């Protein structure tokens, strides 16, 4: 069973429809008890970092998410849901993220050659850190390097440990667009809106 965590800030319908396309049993949850009965979880997200953390806190979901991950159950954060995995964000000084991965969420620099937010299609460059030289992130199975996916964001995560970066994207700077650490996955883009490439990633997620 795959849980989609509904805290009022995510694209629930599109994610659910995409997962069910590949035979997944999906449960949309908004309380911690239901999360315990699922072996995978998806945290989508659209909106502000501090508002999202406040919503998770109000629904008592923070400790449940951390417990899910600590129990080595598979977890996928999408867009803001990926950013929330980190310690803090420039978007909301003083607000604390989930702190599951060390690092900050940064805003794209103000440069005349790029528009902020980034909205539209861009490429992912698959990374192979030395510690994973024989492995490719399971979400990227059969995904060609330099594939195009759909982004909509002004902020991006900057992990302290570069070994968790599974793919990068160039938008004025190179930023981490996919992260992977053990049972933890994150996509800064929206796989549910990324046509065949994104759907293949979600199929890979279902098959983990």
CA distance 172 to 115: 9
Catalytic residue (one of 38, 68, 91, 192): 192
192 is catalytic: yes
Residue of 68, 91, 153, 190 marked catalytic: 190
190 is catalytic: yes
- Choosing from 68, 79, 137, 203, the catalytic residue is 79
Q: At what angle do helices 12-20 and 195-206 cross, to 10 degrees?
A: 70
DSSP 43-83: E---S-HHHHHHHHHHTT-HHHHHHHHHTT-EEEEETHHHH
CA 20 to chain centroid, in Å, comes to 19
For the question of residue 113 being annotated catalytic, the response is: no
Catalytic residues: 79, 190, 192
């Amino acid at each position: 069973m795959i849980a989609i965590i509904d805290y009022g800030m995510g694209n629930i319908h599109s994610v659910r429809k995409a997962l069910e396309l590949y035979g997944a049993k999906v449960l949309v949850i908004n309380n911690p008890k239901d999360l315990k009965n699922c072996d995978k979880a998806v945290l989508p997200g659209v909106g502000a970092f501090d508002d999202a953390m406040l919503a998770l806190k109000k629904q008592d979901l923070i400790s449940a998410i951390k417990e899910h991950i600590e129990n080595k159950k598979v977890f996928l954060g999408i867009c803001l849901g990926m950013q929330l995995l980190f310690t803090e964000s420039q978007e909301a000084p003083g607000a604390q993220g989930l702190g599951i991965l060390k690092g900050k969420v940064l805003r794209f620099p103000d440069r005349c050659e790029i528009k902020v937010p980034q909205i539209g299609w861009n490429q992912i460059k698959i990374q192979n850190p030395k510690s994973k030289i024989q492995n490719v992130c399971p979400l990227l199975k059969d995904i060609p390097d330099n594939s195009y996916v759909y982004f909509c964001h002004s902020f991006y995560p900057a992990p302290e440990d570069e070994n968790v970066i599974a793919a990068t994207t160039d938008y004025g700077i190179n930023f981490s667009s996919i992260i992977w650490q053990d049972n933890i996955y994150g996509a800064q883009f929206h796989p549910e809106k990324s046509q065949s490439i994104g759907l293949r990633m979600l199929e890979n997620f279902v098959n983990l």
